């Protein structure tokens, strides 16, 4: 399909069957009826679905599509798609192109090869995909293949969630229900629906494809498993917001065009802190659409990189010693009347609705801190959290001066005033006075209030935003339901003040405006009794704690069985990832690094012999030779220990014990292998060293 667009406004959403396209192409009554489905007033009936499917098909075919697919998000954390063509042979050797409402609404992919955590045994292979009609369908071009994509949920024969979208949608319902209850109890009669919103900032690295292809670790594990530090790292602070390199800027431009066609509102782009690191942020949308869009963004970043001779690395920590990549989850709650419930307004102390929602969030985050921590747990994030560039594994909330002051007033019985930001004095007569925000930013906080939303900064760059968001929605819904119970009985100012006062006092320990990267914070946090689950395994093992099962069941987001299945899948994924990393390390050490170092030591030995034979002192060469040989033997020993660890972990049957062993016997045994190899890299002849270096990968483009 080659279309030319005069303007960005024409291009934007051109591949999306969005509301405006529907309005144009659907009969009026069908469009109206579908709008009711979208607002939750009715369910989609087959007749309406048939008309919509037919219009979609015609539109997609005009765009060059030959196939459709239900696009879903299995527990791999990636997306999945199975394409079917529209052809429907009529019996005389010709075909028509057909697409029915049934095919639009429901698909039946074989589910047996997706992780299910025991929810489905292999011989019970049936799985269903169901159209999420709140996320618009779109046409995607992959090379010459053009397909109509239908965002879908994925469940088992018994209706159990096998994906990341189902709990997200359920959590949106839960939050909607409880938030509307609270609003009604507080006297709001205009709100019919409340939705959570998400703006994910996506960080990523770009490396030149030739370097990538020369590194098995990048190809197989997505991160460097070896690599001595570059003589220059990020200490100059010159990359963050620095001038865009032309090749990178062209890449960004092409991502934007691709994303805009898909209706993804890519908005902000800039260089990040580490050399070769960048960020893209869209304009926020409802959490399910934003999550779908974030998947499209990650996929597009990887795809477009190939066209520019780059590889896009979405791993949380592709390079040791420089910043890793996160995905800051900006999250808020808004009403169908367009009100952002987390907007404090100019005088937050008398904004009761805001204070109720704020207090609910404070209570939810403190009460379920371990669950939030678990929602961002993966092997990649273990390298990032607490590594002086990202918040530690301790969940805390930053409120800033103004709200902290108001919360203190609440604790004392009632909020009476709001501190104001005033004006910014620059001392330059030609510049107008600028208003100052009443609160500064805190870049070190894992969960920071940023003016009219919270920014959950622990999320890893490769992770689906679904997990962290459905946890947030669920725990906040739960606390709102507690609040609703109270306010529905007595909504007087005194009663609500008393409720808020009680909870801000009870959860004061979760509030922390200081430096989360400081060495003193974990000590202080321990005194406050805040959990600090440093490893993925520990935090995953806390997922099925009693209170977590209870909150997911109470809010109808996940049953105990579904939750346990998820825990199993996460533990298995941990073990598999560490297994791959360890095996890749062993292979690179044995087949690339040790042979290269052996070659170098042989050259050195020859040199020592011939220099000595010439009657010259060869002690300097001999010193290097001794060091190289010593390190080779250290490396061989470490590799053998790692192999033993792998054997031990591999033999364990129980998922939880195996994950613990992969952490303690395998992951831990990787460190000495890397140390020996990185030491060798620093003394072995650059001509012989078999891998591209950090300096090359981070600085050459």
- Of residues 268 and 347, the one with the C-beta less far from ligand ADP: 268
Residue 293 binds to Mg ion (criterion: CB under 5 A):
no
**Residue from the set 332, 378, 444, 592 that interacts with ligand ADP by CB under 6 A:** 332
Which 517-556 residues touch ligand ADP, going by CB under 6 A?
none
Using Cβ positions, the residue closest to Mg ion within the complex turns out to be 328
Contacts 24+ apart (CB under 8 A), 75-81: 75/114, 75/115, 75/116, 75/117, 75/162, 75/163, 75/164, 75/566, 75/569, 76/114, 76/115, 77/164, 77/462, 77/463, 77/464, 77/573, 78/295, 79/295, 79/299, 80/109, 80/114, 80/154, 81/147, 81/149
Residues ≥6 apart with Cβ < 8 Å to 468: 329, 372, 375, 376, 456, 458, 459
| CA dist., res. 273 & res. 234, Å (int) | 7
Which 340-379 residues touch Mg ion, going by CB under 5 A?
none
Question: What is the smallest separation between the CB atom of 471 and Mg ion, expressed in angstroms?
Answer: 19
Residue 198 binds to ligand ADP (criterion: CB under 6 A):
yes
Reported as half-sphere exposure (CB side, CA atoms, 13 A), residue 161 has a value of 26
| CA dist., res. 586 & res. 407, Å (int) | 54
Question: What is the smallest separation between the CB atom of 623 and Mg ion, expressed in angstroms?
Answer: 51
Residue 197 binds to ligand ADP (criterion: CB under 6 A):
yes
List the single partner that 152 binds among ligand ADP, Mg ion, none, CB under 5 to 8 Å by kind.
Answer: none
- One character per residue 201-240, x = contact with ligand ADP (rule: CB under 6 A): x---------------------------------------
- One character per residue 305-344, x = contact with Mg ion (rule: CB under 5 A): -----------------------x----------------
Residue 199 binds to ligand ADP (criterion: CB under 6 A):
yes
Asked whether the beta carbons of 618 and 612 are under 8 A apart, the reply is yes
Question: What is the smallest separation between the CB atom of 297 and ligand ADP, expressed in angstroms?
Answer: 11
Question: What is the smallest separation between the CB atom of 457 and ligand ADP, expressed in angstroms?
Answer: 9
Radius of gyration of the chain (CA): 28
φ, ψ for residue 53 (rounded to 5)? -60, -45
φ, ψ for residue 106 (rounded to 5)? -140, 140
The beta strands (E) that lie in 379-508 are given as 397-398, 423-424, 434-435, 447-449, 454-456
Residue 330 binds to ligand ADP (criterion: CB under 6 A):
yes
Distances (CA, A) of 40 to 46, 146, 480, 558, 583: 17, 31, 21, 21, 50
Residue 140 binds to Mg ion (criterion: CB under 5 A):
no
Question: What is the smallest separation between the CB atom of 281 and Mg ion, expressed in angstroms?
Answer: 7
Question: What is the smallest separation between the CB atom of 330 and Mg ion, expressed in angstroms?
Answer: 6
DSSP string, 23-79: HHHS-HHHHHHHHHHHTTSSPPPHHHHHHHHHHHHHHHHHTT--EEEEEE-BTTSS-
Which 283-302 residues touch ligand ADP, going by CB under 6 A?
283-284
| CA dist., res. 39 & res. 379, Å (int) | 39
- Of residues 328 and 674, the one with the C-beta less far from Mg ion: 328
With contacts defined by CB under 6 A, name the span among 118-126, 449-457, 485-493, 543-551 that binds ligand ADP.
449-457
Question: What is the smallest separation between the CB atom of 318 and ligand ADP, expressed in angstroms?
Answer: 21
Which 334-393 residues touch ligand ADP, going by CB under 6 A?
340
- Of residues 452 and 556, the one with the C-beta less far from ligand ADP: 452
**Residue from the set 282, 386, 467, 692 that interacts with ligand ADP by CB under 6 A:** 282
Using Cβ positions, the residue closest to ligand ADP within the complex turns out to be 199
List the single partner that 424 binds among Mg ion, ligand ADP, none, CB under 5 to 8 Å by kind.
Answer: none
- Of residues 328 and 383, the one with the C-beta less far from Mg ion: 328
Q: What is the torsional sign of CA 601, 605, 606, 608?
A: positive
List the single partner that 452 binds among ligand ADP, Mg ion, none, CB under 5 to 8 Å by kind.
Answer: ligand ADP
**Residue from the set 452, 497, 559, 636 that interacts with ligand ADP by CB under 6 A:** 452
φ, ψ for residue 638 (rounded to 5)? -65, -35
The beta strands (E) that lie in 144-186 are given as 145-156
User: Which DSSP category does 510 fall into?
Assistant: G
Site residues (vs ligand ADP, CB under 6 A): 197-199, 201, 268, 281-284, 330-332, 340, 452-453, 455
């Amino acid at each position: 399909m080659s279309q030319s667009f005069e303007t960005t406004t024409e291009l934007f959403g051109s591949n999306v069957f969005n509301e405006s396209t529907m309005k144009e192409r659907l009969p009026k009554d069908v469009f109206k009826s579908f709008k009711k489905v979208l607002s939750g007033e009715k369910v989609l009936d087959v007749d309406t679905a048939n008309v919509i499917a037919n219009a979609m098909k015609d539109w997609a075919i005009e765009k060059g599509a030959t196939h459709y697919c239900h696009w879903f998000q299995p527990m791999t954390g990636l997306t999945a798609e199975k394409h079917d063509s529209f052809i429907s042979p009529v019996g005389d050797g010709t075909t028509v192109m057909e697409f029915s409402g049934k095919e639009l609404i429901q698909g039946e992919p074989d589910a047996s090869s997706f992780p299910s955590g025991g929810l489905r045994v292999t011989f019970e292979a049936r799985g269903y995909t169901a159209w999420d009609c709140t996320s618009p369908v779109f046409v995607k071009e992959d090379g010459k293949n053009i397909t109509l994509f239908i965002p879908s949920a994925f469940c088992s024969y018994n209706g159990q969630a096998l994906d990341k979208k189902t709990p997200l949608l359920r959590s949106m319902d839960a939050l909607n229900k409880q938030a509307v209850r609270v609003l009604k109890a507080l006297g709001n009669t205009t709100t019919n629906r409340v939705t959570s919103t998400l703006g994910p900032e996506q960080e990523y690295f770009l490396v030149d494809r030739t370097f990538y292809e020369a590194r098995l670790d990048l190809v197989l594990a997505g991160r460097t498993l070896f690599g001595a530090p570059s003589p220059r790292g990020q200490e100059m602070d010159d990359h963050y917001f620095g001038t865009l390199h032309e090749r990178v800027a062209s890449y960004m431009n092409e991502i934007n065009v691709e994303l805009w066609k898909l209706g993804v509102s890519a908005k902000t782009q800039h260089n990040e802190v580490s050399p070769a690191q960048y960020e893209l942020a869209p304009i926020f949308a409802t959490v399910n659409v934003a999550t779908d869009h974030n998947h499209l963004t990650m996929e597009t970043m990887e795809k477009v990189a190939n066209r520019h001779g780059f590889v896009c690395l979405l791993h949380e920590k592709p390079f040791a010693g420089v910043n890793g990549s996160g995905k800051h989850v900006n999250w808020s709650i808004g009403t169908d009347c367009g009100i952002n419930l987390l907007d404090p307004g100019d005088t937050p102390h008398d904004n009761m609705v805001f204070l109720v929602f704020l207090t609910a969030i404070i209570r939810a985050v403190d009460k379920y801190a371990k669950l939030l921590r678990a929602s961002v747990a993966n092997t990649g994030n273990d390298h990032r959290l607490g590594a002086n560039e990202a918040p530690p594994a301790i969940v805390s909330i930053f409120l800033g001066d103004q709200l902290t002051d108001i919360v203190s007033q609440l604790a004392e019985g009632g909020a009476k005033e709001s501190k104001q930001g005033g004006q910014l004095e620059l001392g330059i007569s030609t510049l107008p006075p600028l208003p100052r925000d009443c609160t500064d930013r805190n870049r070190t906080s894992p969960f920071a209030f940023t003016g009219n939303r919270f920014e959950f900064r622990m999320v890893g760059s490769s992770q689906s935003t679904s997990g962290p968001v459905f946890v947030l929605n669920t725990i906040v819904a739960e606390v709102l339901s507690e609040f609703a119970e109270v306010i529905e009985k007595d909504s007087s100012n005194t009663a609500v003040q008393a409720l808020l006062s009680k909870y801000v006092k009870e959860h004061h320990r979760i509030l922390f405006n200081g430096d989360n990267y400081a060495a003193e914070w974990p000590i202080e946090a321990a005194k406050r009794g805040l959990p600090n689950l440093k490893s993925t395994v520990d935090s995953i093992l806390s997922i099925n704690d009693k209170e977590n099962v209870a909150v997911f069941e109470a809010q109808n987001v996940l049953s105990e069985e579904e939750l346990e299945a998820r825990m199993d899948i996460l533990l298995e994924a941990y073990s598999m990832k560490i297994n791959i990393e360890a095996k890749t390390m062993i292979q690179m050490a044995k087949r690339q690094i040790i042979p290269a170092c052996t070659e170098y030591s042989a050259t050195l030995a020859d040199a020592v012999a011939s220099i000595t034979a010439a009657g010259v002192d060869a002690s300097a060469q001999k010193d290097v030779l001794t060091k190289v040989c010593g390190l080779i033997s250290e490396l061989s020993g470490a590799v053998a220990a790692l192999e033993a660890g792998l054997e031990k972990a591999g033999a364990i049957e129980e998922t939880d014990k195996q994950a613990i062993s992969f952490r303690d016997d395998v992951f831990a045994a990787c460190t000495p292998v890397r140390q020996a190899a990185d030491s060798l890299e620093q003394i072995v002849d650059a001509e012989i060293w078999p891998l591209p270096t950090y300096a090359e990968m981070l600085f050459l483009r």
